[in-house]
Amino acid sequence: MKKFLSLLFVILLTAPAALWLVGHMYGNSDNTLHQGFPPPEATLWLDRGYYQAVEGWFRESLPVGKHLKTLHNWLNYHLFSASSTASVRVGIHGWLYPMETTADYPEPPVARQAGYRLFLELHAVEKIISATGHRFLVIVVPGKPAIYPEYVGAGFSGAQSPFYKALLDANDRHPLSGFVGLDPILKKAKLSGIDVYHKRSRLWSCGAAAAAAEQILNFQELARPLSSDRSSIPCPPPDNDLYRLLLDEAPPEKAPLAGHTAGPHAVNGPVAVVYGDEYLDRLLPFLTSAFKSLAVIDSTQEPTFDRNVMAKKSDWVVLESGESGLERLHLNLEAIYAAASQPMQGVVKRDIALDGAKPVTPCALDITPDGLQIKIPGEGAFFSLPPLSGSTNRVFRMVKLTFPADHQGRITIKTLPEKTGLIESSPRQVAGNELAIAVQKNLSRETRHVIVPLPFDESVEIQINPSQHPGVFILEKAELLSFYGKNPPPAPSIPERSEMVGDIYSGMELQPIKPPAGDPVDEPARQASVHLTEALPELSLADIEEGRIFQRQGKSADIVVTGTYSGLPGTVESRVVDAGTDAVVVPWTVVDDAPENGLYTGILRHIPQGGWYRLHVRSSLTPWVVNKGSTRWGVGMLVACIGQSNMREWFFTGNAHQPSPLVMLHRNGKWFAPGIEGNGALALGNRLASMLKMPIGLLDYSVNGTGLTAKAEWGKGFWLDTGPDGIYRRFIDGVNTAGGSVEVVLWMQGEADAARGTVSREEYRSALERFVNDQIRSDIKNGSSRPRLPFLIIPLVKRPSGRDASCQWIRDAQMDALKTIDECHLAALSLDLENRGRQHLAPAAYSTLGIRTAQTIFYLLGKVHFHRGPAISTVTRLSDRVIDIAIRQQGGTDFTPWSEITGFEVLADPDRTPLSIASVSRKDGNTIRIELADDAPPDFILRYLYGAHPDTSNPVRDNTALRLPLEPFSQ
């Protein structure tokens, strides 16, 4: 017996790996999603990462691992009513809920504030759309816990999130005319026996969707489908998506939402554009009969509700969102307002007198011909506009603020006080006056304005911080937009502008504007009576962050000089000196000739590129007292590095380089000097610094495991997500902290999108185009001398094995993007470089990539004449067995190796059978000859560095110093 059991033990241990090996040897080798075995190399023997890669490879490759994982999850659910997945909550009787819908809400006031803010934005969108003659419909589908709270289980704080509840409460008081509340109808449907949500599903059922559709159509007085038709409406069966998620099974391929635009359609019905999420899958079939046509925009793919919605010609705009998706809903009011192409009806615009603006916290205001000049020491400095009338149920009001096109930084706007009681408050918040509704916006390069909806209140104060950076800013214009709907009342006579505050229709008592509190004319006598020696100015300098690099504009940069003073407000001068030698770089220059409120702020212009520098300031009244800055800073080039793990490895893998003293890193909003870690970053930084002789700042904002598209969301976020907590927003915040402008953006990403094989070539390309044009170039100022901010791509690396079709889609999409996106360039090719076992490269490969990328930047600066390696120009079949390949040199004149070249494949078309290659060798400096072992068919495909793990042990590289590789090819 013991012998038998001992053998059983051994068999149990050996069977999984043995079966897998047998299957691996004789079975299909299409392991697209798996990694190849990390190739052993002498240099890796003592590298811990290599052994971790081996363990990881085993864990991921072993087929039984997947089944064991499923078994574990199944046992947890069925035996213990527990979930192994953080995203699924197991309730009572096996009911499953998305965790995000049942999570605790630790900060209800914050959530309620955000909910109320969204409510105001929805009002704003509705008013803008209505003013253009269209109708706006908002459909919010209550989450599963709102309908079935009884099965959620212990520790559940409430059926509705504070966010959603705030929105509903606000809507009760000041209803949106197009808001369709579905809570009552779905609860009624539940009572009538309809399974609104299936026990194991995240999305609603067809019955619930039908009930909701009826409510929507009734509410909007639209044609309803005949009852006989209703029963024949095709509807997907109940989905066990949460159960599959719990078991960690792959989700089924999702049909595009656009497919639901299929009929039957009403011939005379309205045309609608629908922006929504997965709930539309079941809802749309019940709505099509009411509309002439429906254009659907998938909010999971396009996370921002903006001009794309308005661009489509429609009578109706429908916005649908699940309750849990509300917090991610991003309404771009500025883009919607700008896209409202038709003249808007029922809108009265009125300028807000900027001379009535007052400082709230230390800042200096001045009326100039360009508008209101604001000097601020940075974040936390606010000024206020004159009190304005708030919105009412009859008139909805917004403020439109216009800034110059070159405005830098994030604009923070607070509307206060909040007296509606909709936002619960704690004593701390009341004491801290934190009941304001605050919004933060980055100025769009296209619209130059921000729009802030005003709360429903008698009087509203607007406080504005124009940037988180110190500096001098201009508010060109502030307008009050009053939306009256179709019949605005006749305008009363307009008072004089200088006395005007608020809205002419509000009926508020008009008050003459008082001069700002800090106006020096207030107290001339006091200044005169002060003894001169006591009043001598004392300056303190708000020093620049150590190691900060200002992005050059041309060959110099302007910097903000700011600080505080006490005593007499004399003219403040500043100069820049070399940090090492104290040699004067920029002589004494007046930066603020009229400091006020104890604050001086000004711009020191034309500081030449270079570094490191220090800043000096002095007052003209005491020129012998020089206040010297202690930190070093410079003017140079900023390179933003984003992507996923391979980009991150640039900063953390290898220690082959000593950092140049001119290279700095910027991470998590801070500048710091690099260590010796990070071959890629240091190779790039060092090379740029040594050639350009100026400080180089590398902004490290890549995040492991992040996809570009929502389909590639692995829990780490995706780059198209513009939500406030997303990786993209963190990146933009980081760029803004570094000054808001960079010279190039470097992108190395795609592994996450390739991993599941669900992102097609065109999807990735179009997503990348949106990302570059609508996000990156809208949110980051172009610091280069190129017409648009250069976006440099390093295409996806080669994986060590597997039929990596999905990787190839991403690579192809990235190469396509080089042609379709303006100022998008190939930074470097990585396909010829070594992998370090899995999908990360060997340390030396990152050095090569850094040097190649530097070459590309030099090329863009016009300092070198090439940055790409040779490319195949023509393929000539000389005979049945001989093929000549002509290559076009770009920087070199010849190539290596001369024989035994690897990486070429010849496939018979159309079945793609590989043909045996006898030899691949150099014919001359521009020609490669392939000799086949057998005759080639008339149609064949020639590929280089393509398809399934091409052999790159002896790839073609040109004879330049950089040894640039022959580019991938397929024909």
Binding residues vs other proteins (CB under 8 A): 1-3, 5-6, 8-10, 12-14, 16-18, 45-48, 50-51, 54-55, 58-59, 62, 64-66, 68-69, 71-73, 75-76, 79-82, 84, 104, 154-155
Would you list the DSSP string of 596-639?
Answer: BTTEEEEEEEEEESEEEEEEEEEETTEEEEEEE----EEEEEEE
User: For residues 907 and 914, is the Cβ–Cβ distance under 8 A?
Assistant: yes
Q: Which of 466, 479, 631 is nearest to 547 (CA)?
A: 631
Name the residue nearer to other proteins (CB basis): 80 or 672.
Answer: 80
Q: In angstroms, rounded to a whole number, what is the distance separating the alpha carbons of residues 738 and 427? A: 36
Name the minimum Å distance from CB 157 to other proteins: 9
Name the residue nearer to other proteins (CB basis): 66 or 93.
Answer: 66
Q: In angstroms, rounded to a whole number, what is the distance separating the alpha carbons of residues 618 and 537? A: 9
Name the residue nearer to other proteins (CB basis): 29 or 157.
Answer: 157
Name the residue nearer to other proteins (CB basis): 223 or 676.
Answer: 676
Name the minimum Å distance from CB 92 to other proteins: 12
Name the residue nearer to other proteins (CB basis): 44 or 932.
Answer: 44
Contacts 24+ apart (CB under 8 A), 149-156: 150/92, 151/91, 151/92, 151/93, 151/95, 152/89, 152/91, 152/92, 152/95, 152/97, 152/102, 153/89, 153/90, 153/91, 153/92, 155/104, 156/102
Q: Which of 930, 921, 922 is nearest to 879 (CA)?
A: 930
Q: In angstroms, rounded to a whole number, what is the distance separating the alpha carbons of residues 406 and 677? A: 36
Name the minimum Å distance from CB 69 to other proteins: 5
Name the minimum Å distance from CB 153 to other proteins: 9
Name the residue nearer to other proteins (CB basis): 91 or 178.
Answer: 91
Name the minimum Å distance from CB 1 to other proteins: 5
Strands 304-305, 663-667: pairing is: unpaired
Give the neighbor-by-neighbor strand order of the sheet with 882-888.
871-877, 882-888, 927-932, 917-924
Name the residue nearer to other proteins (CB basis): 55 or 880.
Answer: 55
Name the residue nearer to other proteins (CB basis): 45 or 624.
Answer: 45
Q: In angstroms, rounded to a whole number, what is the distance separating the alpha carbons of residues 684 and 691? A: 11
Name the minimum Å distance from CB 927 to other proteins: 46
Name the residue nearer to other proteins (CB basis): 3 or 428.
Answer: 3
SS (H, E, C) 699-757: EECCCCCCECCHHHCCCCCECCCCCCCCHHHHHHHHHHHCCCEECEEEEECCHHHHHCC
- Secondary structure of residue 320 in the 3-state scheme: strand
Angle, alpha carbons 302-310-319 (nearest 5°): 60
> Which residues is 135 bridged to in the sheet?
316
Name the residue nearer to other proteins (CB basis): 31 or 84.
Answer: 84
Name the minimum Å distance from CB 576 to other proteins: 30
User: For residues 141 and 212, is the Cβ–Cβ distance under 8 A?
Assistant: yes
Name the residue nearer to other proteins (CB basis): 111 or 354.
Answer: 111
- Secondary structure of residue 9 in the 3-state scheme: helix
Name the residue nearer to other proteins (CB basis): 50 or 279.
Answer: 50
What sign results for the dihedral spanned by CA atoms 584, 589, 592, 593? Answer: positive
Name the minimum Å distance from CB 14 to other proteins: 4
Helix or strand run (H / E) with residue 12 = helix 2-26
Torsion of CA 442, 445, 449, 454, to 10 degrees: -40
Name the residue nearer to other proteins (CB basis): 43 or 498.
Answer: 43
Name the minimum Å distance from CB 572 to other proteins: 38
Hey, what amino acid is at 948? A
Name the minimum Å distance from CB 25 to other proteins: 16
User: For residues 962 and 827, is the Cβ–Cβ distance under 8 A?
Assistant: no
Q: In angstroms, rounded to a whole number, what is the distance separating the alpha carbons of residues 203 and 945? A: 44
Name the minimum Å distance from CB 71 to other proteins: 5
Q: Please state the separation of Cα 753 from the chain's center in Å.
A: 15
Cα separations (Å) of 62 from 67, 756, 807? 10, 17, 21
Q: In angstroms, rounded to a whole number, what is the distance separating the alpha carbons of residues 888 and 885? A: 10
Name the residue nearer to other proteins (CB basis): 488 or 705.
Answer: 705
Name the minimum Å distance from CB 17 to other proteins: 5
Name the minimum Å distance from CB 54 to other proteins: 8
The first and second tokens of residue 456, run together, are 């429903």
Name the minimum Å distance from CB 256 to other proteins: 32
Burial of 48 (0-12, 13-18, 19+ CB in 10 A): exposed
Name the residue nearer to other proteins (CB basis): 51 or 588.
Answer: 51
Name the minimum Å distance from CB 188 to other proteins: 33
Q: Which of 550, 547, 565, 670 is nearest to 604 (CA)?
A: 550
